[in-house]
Structures are given as C-alpha cells and as structure tokens.
Homo-oligomer: A and B are copies of this chain.
Amino acid sequence: PGRGRRAGSRRVYGTLEDLLGGDIFSDFFRTFFGDFERAAGRRPGRRAEQELEVTLADAYTGAVKPYDIIGPDGRAHRVEVRIPPGVRDGDVVRVTVPGLGDLSFRAKVRPDPQFERKGDDLYVEVPVKLTTCILGGEVEVPTSTGKLILKIPPGTQNGQVFRLRGQGMPRPENPSQRGDLYARVRVVLPTRLTDRQRALFEELARLETAETYAGAR
C-alpha cells in the first residue's frame, strides 16, 4: 500500500517498512553502495543530491522530514531533514549523519492547488459575490496559516488585485520578514433569479450608458 507514495523513480519519504518492502535498488541506494562517485562525476562540480518533496505549507512553517536510508553496514538509518521556513524550490539542505557523512537534499516544493508562489510572494484567487463587488463588503481570504478578512471597496472590478503586505512566504534569509499575499477578485454571478431579481437586472440593462462601464477593460 505504501507504493503509491513514490515521486518519479525516487522514494521521497515513507515508513521504514514501506522502504524495505519497496524499491531497495533505487538511485539513492545504488549511489550509497559504491556508485556515489560515479554519480557525482556525471556532472562535474556537482554532488549527488536527493530530491525531497515538501508542500507549500511545509515550506511556510518549516518542517522536519524523515528520510530512510540503508548504510554501508546494511542497516536502515532514519535521517531527519530539517526544512527551513521559506525554503524555495531547488534549495539544497545538508544533513551530516554519523558514519555516513554529508547528505544533500534538494527541496522540491510541490505546486499548491490554491496558492501560486512567485519568489516570496503568494497569489490567491478570492471568489466575491456580485453585490459585494458593486456595493462593497468583506470577504475571507485564505492564507497559508488561516484566514484573513479583506475589505472590498464599493465598485471593485472583477480581477482586481489586493496586496496583503507581509502575508506571503517567510524569507529564508530572515524568516521574521515575509513576502506579500496578492488576492485576486473573481466575481461570482447569481445562478438563479426570481422574477423580481430579473426585473431589476432588466432595469439595470436599460439604464446602461457608456458611462456605466467607463474605463473598464
């Protein structure tokens, strides 16, 4: 059952049981049992690195990820890889393991279904009801750690972007500083109208002039 948790040809993390029952001839093990130098030699100046998948939430808070390896003694060792807050895709984390030397892990930050990351900034789409956009109001904006209330001013256009300063990813150099969160308004329109509601929209349509949409693109 643990076999579903593989990324490409490399096991990323799992229980030791999964690991021993699984693919013990993965790239990583072959590397350890003598091919290390050859592997590193394929790209001059580069060391063999293992990919370690982390979620955006892990990258936000930082995390400790277990990683199991078989040492030259033939025994399994659990390595704890410390992912620093704000880790960026491709960052390399090193771990010194007594008896095994230095291991390098390259963080692969998985794309998030909700947040898009650009540098240390995050982008999120926020559904907002039509009448809230037109008349103003408040909406909840998801953040990496919870929710925030965002004030929507009257006359907010579909697609408008609000910057929530300091609500982005921690900066790895200084995790007390953070990037920004950009919230993009996606207007949600009514799906079902009563006769009265339809009549109101019909009157709005009759009252429209060039001025009504002035400046909108």
A interface residues with partner B (beta carbon < 8 Å)? 127, 129-131, 133-135, 155-159, 186-194, 196-198, 200-205, 207-208, 211-217
Contact = CB atoms under 8 A, between A and B. Distances in A.
Contacts of A192: 155, 211-212, 214
A216 B131 CA distance: 14
Contact of A188 (B127, B156, B158, B188): B158
A203 B204 CA distance: 12
A207 B198 CA distance: 11
Contacts of A129: 208, 213
Given A131-B204, A135-B202, 10 more contacts: A130-B204, A134-B193, A155-B193, A156-B189, A158-B187, A159-B186, A188-B217, A190-B216, A191-B213, A191-B216
Contact of A158 (B158, B201, B211): B158
26 contacts: A127-B216, A127-B217, A129-B213, A130-B130, A130-B204, A131-B204, A133-B189, A134-B201, A135-B202, A135-B205, A155-B193, A157-B189, A158-B158, A158-B186, A158-B189, A187-B187, A189-B216, A190-B208, A190-B212, A190-B213, A191-B212, A191-B214, A192-B212, A197-B207, A200-B203, A200-B204
Contacts of A133: 189
